[in-house]
Amino acid sequence: MTPQHLLRAVVFDWAGTVVDHGSLAPMGVFVEAFQEFGVAISIEEARGPMGMAKRPHIATLMALPRISAAWAKQHGHAPTEADIDAVYDVFVPKNRAVAARFSDVIPGVADVVATLRAHGLKIGSTTGYTRDIMAEILPGAAAHGFAPDCLVCTGDTPDGRPTPFMLWKALTELGVYPPWLSVKVDDTEVGIAEGISAGAWTVGVSVTGNVFGHTTGGNAGNGAGSFPHQARRSLGQAQCRRRTLCRKRGCRSAAGDCGNRGQASARRTALTEQPPSSQSVASGRSVG
């Protein structure tokens, strides 16, 4: 059986997945944007909500207890919607200014895309960037071998990740249905959640993405033995974020082992029980 009888499309994220090895472009900009308002945040904090649209990303950062307290100390009040808008208005032009410098295609991506197309698959993309930021990235990416058949950006749909709307729009533009005939490839938690929510296969990218946050040279300098430690640390951070999210949803179970998680598992099970000709497997596989 040929691949096109099993799958019809692969939809990629951008930063950390196909361009910008280590997902570096937004990190310094988040730090600089907050610094302009007298609030210091770390790169590690900035990475936490990666994959979200940038305004919700800033809102999530401002909701973190440490950052919220630092903001209140500096400005005399807890962060407001107007404050989120103000930081976002500073962030966007800064991000646009550096975007083109981080448009190099990650080694191996162009070859993978060429192979997928040779087997008849369509190539889509979704991103947490706005279209004006993507306008700075697209020419460089195309020159180095990545030019997808469609692009869905923040602002193109009613909501962004982890909802399925951007992926569904991409599949609509590609003419692919049902969604389990597609694969979503992403380096962030919310990007993987986007694929699972949409009913697609999901593949998680690790070493080139937000989890490790290394440049190509940085990865070359790390032996394989260092990756498990980094992966465990990142997994621990992800579990902490999941526990925080669960508590916000009213869950009081320990270690995030709760109904929210169970419901997600039930959805995955339901998807895998589709007939063999239209089966969907939603997995969190990690590839280097």
- pLDDT at residue 210, rounded to an integer: 74
Looking at the structure of the chain, the number of domains it has is 2
Mean pLDDT within 241-268: 39
Query: Is 85 in the same domain as 196?
Result: no
Query: Is 178 in the same domain as 272?
Result: yes
pLDDT band at 22 (very low <50, low <70, confident <90, very high): confident
Q: What distance in Å separates the CA atoms of residue 200 and residue 181, rounded to the nearest whole number? A: 7
- pLDDT at residue 239, rounded to an integer: 43
- pLDDT at residue 26, rounded to an integer: 82
Tokens of 253: 């179970």
Query: Is 163 in the same domain as 241?
Result: yes
Query: Is 36 in the same domain as 135?
Result: no
For the stretch 55-72, pLDDT in tens is 999 999 999 999 999 999
Query: Is 183 in the same domain as 253?
Result: yes
Query: Is 58 in the same domain as 140?
Result: no
Residues acting as catalytic residues: 13, 54
Task: For 193-226, give the secondary structure using H, E and C.
Answer: HHHHHHCCEEEEECCCCCCCCCCHHHHHCCCCCH
Query: Is 232 in the same domain as 158?
Result: yes
Find the domain containing 83 and state its range: 25-101
Query: Is 151 in the same domain as 29?
Result: no
Residue 214 or residue 119, greater confidence: 119
As a whole number, the mean pLDDT across the chain is: 79
pLDDT band at 102 (very low <50, low <70, confident <90, very high): confident
Query: Is 230 in the same domain as 255?
Result: yes
pLDDT higher than threshold 80 for residue 220: no
Query: Is 12 in the same domain as 55?
Result: no
- Domain termination site, one of 64, 83, 101: 101
Q: What distance in Å separates the CA atoms of residue 20 and residue 213, rounded to the nearest whole number? A: 10
CATH number, residue 113: 3.40.50.1000
